[in-house]
A and B are shown apart, each in its own frame.
Chain A
Amino acid sequence: MIRPTKNSVTTRRDLLAGYGFISPWLIGFLILTLYPICASLYYSFCDYRVLSPPHWVGLRNYTELFTDKDYFLPSLWNTMFMFLELPIALALSVGIALLLNQKLKGMVFFRTLCYLPSVVPTVASAILWLWLLNPEYGLVNATLKMLHIPTTSWLQSPIWAKPAFIILDLWAVGGGIVIYLAALQGVPQHLYEAADLDGAGPWRKTWNITLPAISPVIFFNAILGIIATFQYFTQTFLLTNGGPANSTLFYALFLYQNAFQYFRMGYASAMAWVLFAITALATVIVFKSSARLVYYEGGDN
């Protein structure tokens, strides 16, 4: 038997070595992540213009934010609109993943094809879509014209700009497909064999076996999607900068403008914390409401 004292010395030494090895990350986390997060909470109660020290104004930034009917609510609404993308992206990526999961010859080629758009950096694909959606010369409108379907000015139209962003994002749905595909490969074969014996058709098998089996992955992707949607920024920053007429002024873009263009860092910090609260709330709601729809192997239900 090892003596307790020796044991604790070894443990402590291991512990120190462990911390020693992760210290580069730990120090980076404390200085570059944790401290700014805490500081931004403090700044959100301050009038802070970056160039001069912050001074305390209490809840002013928050009251101003909630009473701003011209920017805060529209930017939140614009962001909410983008949630339409989630179910579409989900259906599309699960659907394509199911197709790509068939055991056919040359499937590797199609899998690569579907994933390819996700390899293109966001900035490059955004610029590419700027051209595709160009009302004058764009391929999208040219195709619609050929099919005698009415065209629109997409990113230049206050009504169609947000749907245009949804289309743009759906193009890169391949990232999700790969994750679903991996999940599909993990579905136990014996379940399908049992279903075959019971005479179940392909629809029945998909609905009763495949989807429940990959539901944790769907759930995980949905949560990530919610968080990403609240932070929607890059595409609009590059392509529309909030326009036309604020129709693509998303919450994160408005936050950026306040922080870095108007030097209202206190106000922007308050915005960030409100966004954090909203995101956390939305995630909790989704967790509470859909947890029973998610099936975990070995779990109780």
Chain B
Amino acid sequence: MKLNKTVRQLSLFAAIAFGTTLPTGCKVEIQSRAEDVHLQVWTMWNGQEEKNILAVFARYHELHPNIFIENHGGLLDDTKTIRAIVANVPPDLCTLTDPLVLGPLAANNALLPLDDLLNTETYKESDFVPASLKQCRFKGRLYAMPYLIDCTALFWNKKLFKEAGLDPERPPSTMEELQQYAKKLTKVENNEIAILGLQPLTDVMPILCVFGGRLTDPSEKNVTVNSEKMTEGMSWYLETVKAMGGYEKVNAFSSGFGQAQSANNPFFVGKVAMMVSGEWIPFWTTKYSSNLDYGVAALPPPANHPERTGTTWLGGNMFAIPRASKHVKEAKEILIWMQSEEAQTLLAKLNNNVPNQLSVLGSPELRQGEPYKKKFSVFLDLAKSKNAEYFPAIPVSGLLNGELLNARDVVLNLEKSPKQALNDTQARVQRELGRYP
């Protein structure tokens, strides 16, 4: 019968296909040795940065030839990791692309506590930039390990300062002055913005924390979004945007901005005179805008709070071990190695991020050499600041961040007063937080 013939042919084909795959499968088995460990690591980096982290892993393999790190890069969506955790097939080690997922993951017992990595002979708590560890703690326990951090500071375009009649060598010394500068530097032509004094903030916390605003109380059981200081900060931002032409105009102008990591970065092309950004900018200028004459310094304190001098908003790369990781011991060993001077300096040089080990912040290798490193050093110093603030890991951090950004928009669009908007945010986030034990 015709059908039977087809079936026979198909099974013959299947047998051949199966037979040919067998030898290759065995080959891998033969090569692999008993002491070899293949570690599944999921990381967020892509492009050049992925190559950089691969170089770091390659170095680790050189030091530990039996550890094979299988990197799955470009993980831009943490829900993929979360799904793998829920399905009980997580990676052995992973980065948290959005640090805001640490709280929910830790609160739901999905990650392994890492407290035993500290207070050993190798590393003590006091070796770390304090905020870099604090942002990895949930209810006092450590659930992630930092491997390099980010800090924010104020950048200003010296040429545009000169054109506006400002001293190009002196950044604003108070937040009040920063607001005046933002207004003065904003240039309007034919009723349209041509240059914006201060680039609008994608994240408002770097500004709010300068006013002393904090997202939670020290117990991290209560959010404090509607505190006086937060309101003061939000009002400052509202007035600044108003001074530059108002929400809609500023928004419309910003929509024409090019990508940050390109030669079209609005700061590089002189479309914005000042911006709040991070430690990667000095290196980027060498790539995209080598003639740019600019300065960088910490955001100034408000006039009546000089103690807020040197405030910076700290974030960074977090590595975590899912509870169901199959190679806990090896994963922990990598995390410890990442704190070594060699590993910290290696990635800091490749990615131009700030080390989270205090002892490495002074490293001449990071501070000397190419001209841009002088400006990069500003961030190395800022990391040590006692006013380095961070996003606390709470179970509802995603909601808190979303609500806060929404409050910003509603305030700028003049739908609610800063006080009202932050009160509403407080009520909603606190209600949700109260549901966690």
Contacts and interface: CB of A to CB of B under 8 A. Distances in A.
Interface of A: 47, 49-52, 70, 134-137, 153, 155-158, 243-246, 257, 260-264
A134 B254 CA distance: 10
B435 interface: yes
A98 B251 CA distance: 42
A156 B104 contact: no
B104 A263 contact: yes
B396 interface: yes
Given A245-B409, A260-B79, A137 B108 contact: no
Given A52-B109, A155-B255, A243-B409, A70 B399 contact: no
B251 A156 contact: yes
Contacts, number: 76
Query: What does DSSP make chain A's interface, helix, strand, loop or mixed?
Result: loop
B252 A136 contact: yes
Interface of B: 79, 82, 85-86, 104-105, 107-110, 247-249, 251-256, 395-396, 398-399, 402, 406, 409-410, 412-413, 415, 424, 428, 432, 435
A52 B412 CA distance: 37
Contacts of A155: 255
A70 B248 contact: no
A156 B252 contact: yes
B424 A70 contact: yes
A26 B256 CA distance: 50
A245 B108 contact: no
A134 B410 contact: no
Contacts of A261: 398-399, 402
Given A261-B402, A263-B104, A134 B248 contact: no
Contact of B412 (A50, A245, A257, A264): A245
Given A134-B255, A136-B255, A155-B255, A246 B409 contact: yes
Cβ-closest 8 pairs across A and B: A136-B256, A153-B252, A51-B108, A245-B413, A135-B252, A156-B251, A245-B409, A262-B399
Given A51-B82, A245-B415, A136 B435 contact: no
A263 B398 CA distance: 8
B406 A246 contact: yes
A136 B253 contact: yes
Contacts of A260: 79
B396 A135 contact: no
Contacts of B428: 70
A260 B251 CA distance: 27
Given A135-B253, A244-B247, 15 more contacts: A51-B85, A51-B86, A51-B109, A70-B424, A134-B256, A136-B255, A137-B256, A153-B251, A155-B255, A157-B252, A158-B413, A257-B402, A261-B399, A262-B398, A264-B399
A153 B409 CA distance: 16
A260 B86 CA distance: 14
Contacts of A158: 248, 413
A4 to B, nearest CB: 31
Nearest to B108: A51
Nearest to A70: B424
Nearest to A157: B248
Contact of B413 (A52, A137, A244): A244
B98 to A, nearest CB: 9
Contacts of A135: 252-253, 255-256
Given A51-B86, A245-B409, A245-B412, A262 B402 contact: yes
B256 to A, nearest CB: 3
Nearest to B251: A156
Given A70-B424, A257-B402, A263-B398, A49 B251 contact: no
Contacts of B253: 135-136
A260 B101 CA distance: 11
B296 to A, nearest CB: 27
Interface centre among B82, B105, B396, B406 (most CB of A within 10 A): B406
A155 B104 CA distance: 33
A152 B432 CA distance: 38
Nearest to A64: B431
Contacts of B424: 70
A280 to B, nearest CB: 29
Contacts of A70: 424, 428
Contacts of A49: 104, 107-108, 395
A135 B255 CA distance: 7
Contacts of A134: 255-256
Contacts of B254: 156
14 contacts: A49-B107, A49-B108, A52-B109, A70-B428, A135-B256, A156-B252, A244-B248, A244-B413, A245-B410, A245-B413, A245-B415, A262-B396, A262-B399, A264-B432
Contacts of B395: 49
A155 B256 CA distance: 12
A155 B107 CA distance: 37
Nearest to B105: A51
A136 B247 CA distance: 15
A47 B435 contact: yes
B321 to A, nearest CB: 15
The residue in A134, A155, A157, A261 that gathers the most chain B C-beta atoms within 10 A of its C-beta is A261
Contacts of B399: 261-262, 264
A157 B247 CA distance: 9
A205 to B, nearest CB: 48
Contacts of B109: 51-52
B77 to A, nearest CB: 9
B246 to A, nearest CB: 11
Given A153-B248, A262-B399, A50 B86 contact: yes
A137 B254 CA distance: 11
B413 to A, nearest CB: 4
Contacts of B410: 245-246
A135 B250 CA distance: 11
A141 to B, nearest CB: 9
Contacts of B432: 262, 264
Contacts of A257: 402
A216 to B, nearest CB: 42
A246 B396 CA distance: 20
Contacts of A244: 247-248, 251, 409, 413
A136 B264 CA distance: 14
A246 B255 CA distance: 17
A149 B97 CA distance: 45
A244 B241 CA distance: 15
Contacts of B82: 50-51
Contacts of B252: 135-136, 153, 156-157
A136 B266 CA distance: 13
Nearest to B425: A70
A51 B82 CA distance: 8
